[in-house]
């Protein structure tokens, strides 16, 4: 489990295709404190550490994950948001995040709003009813509050600190991001549509 509060911004170091694709990531984390088998949220996707070295860690990514997230478009040098898994007693600064991507959203517009930026995204059609104004959402691993929703489109504000400390500050119109729906919305929707 995660909170959507990014604690490091690293980048893709190498990509090695295979049965699963091996990604290696450069990181500022103290890698000696990361166990093999640990979970790290990588721009929203929960990945398992399978290898590590000085200033980097590696994770294997399945074809399913590559096809359902933005990871399939990543290249060497792609910036990545990182968050380590929660430990008992950690501060819950964002909201409960599983690291299981529900879909990919597209950035349709950016507007300055004071020192913040207003981003307008378009969600996949099958997820639009799960996004609520003033609810939580996770974009590329970042916990955010939804400002407004209209059909498939929803708006968020990104403060200057978040722009600087995460990959969101580098986004341009047309870019795609990993989207995780608030866990509570997902389960409420499932209960309402049980058969």
pLDDT tens digits, one per residue of 88-124: 777 777 788 999 999 999 999 999 999 999 999 999 9
DSSP state of 78: -
Among 3.30.950.10, 1.10.15.40, 3.40.50.2300, 2.40.30.20, what is the CATH number of 103-192? 2.40.30.20
Between CA 1 and CA 87 the distance in angstroms is 9
- CB of 82 closer than 8 Å to CB of 7: yes
Instruction: Give the model's pLDDT for residue 58.
Output: 98
Helix, strand or coil, per DSSP, at residue 40? strand
Between CA 61 and CA 44 the distance in angstroms is 13
Between CA 71 and CA 104 the distance in angstroms is 11
Instruction: Give the model's pLDDT for residue 189.
Output: 65
pLDDT tens digits, one per residue of 4-32: 999 999 999 999 998 999 999 999 999 99
Instruction: Give the model's pLDDT for residue 183.
Output: 78
| pTM for the predicted model, two decimal places | 0.93
In the chain, which residues fall in CATH 2.40.30.20?
A: 8-84, 103-192
pLDDT tens digits, one per residue of 57-94: 999 999 999 999 999 999 999 999 999 998 877 777 77
Residue 195 has pLDDT above 60, yes or no: no
pLDDT tens digits, one per residue of 158-193: 999 999 999 999 999 999 999 999 877 766 666 666
Among 3.40.50.10420, 2.30.30.100, 3.30.390.50, 2.40.30.20, what is the CATH number of 8-84? 2.40.30.20
Give the total residue count for the chain. Answer: 195
Q: Which residues contact 62 (CB under 8 A, 6 or more apart)?
A: 20
Cα→Cα distances 39→27, 67, 86, 167, 181, Å: 14, 20, 9, 20, 19
């Amino acid at each position: 489990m995660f909170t959507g509060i990014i604690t490091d911004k690293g980048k893709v170091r190498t990509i090695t295709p295979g049965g699963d694709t091996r990604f290696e990531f450069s990181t500022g984390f103290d890698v000696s404190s990361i166990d093999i088998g640990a979970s790290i949220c990588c721009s929203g996707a929960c990945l398992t550490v399978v290898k590590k070295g000085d200033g980097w860690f590696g994770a294997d990514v399945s074809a399913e994950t590559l096809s359902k997230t933005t990871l399939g478009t990543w290249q060497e040098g792609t910036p990545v948001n990182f968050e380590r898994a929660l430990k008992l007693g950690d501060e819950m600064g964002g909201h409960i995040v599983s690291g299981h991507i529900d879909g990919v959203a597209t950035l349709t517009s950016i507007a300055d709003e004071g020192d913040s930026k207003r981003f307008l995204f378009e969600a996949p059609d099958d997820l639009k009813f799960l996004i609520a104004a003033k609810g939580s959402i996770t974009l590329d691993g970042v916990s955010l509050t939804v400002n407004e929703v209209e059909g498939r489109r929803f708006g968020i504000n990104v403060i200057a600190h978040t722009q600087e400390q995460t990959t969101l500050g580098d986004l341009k119109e047309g870019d795609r991001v990993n989207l995780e729906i608030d866990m509570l919305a997902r389960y409420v929707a499932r209960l309402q549509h049980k058969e």
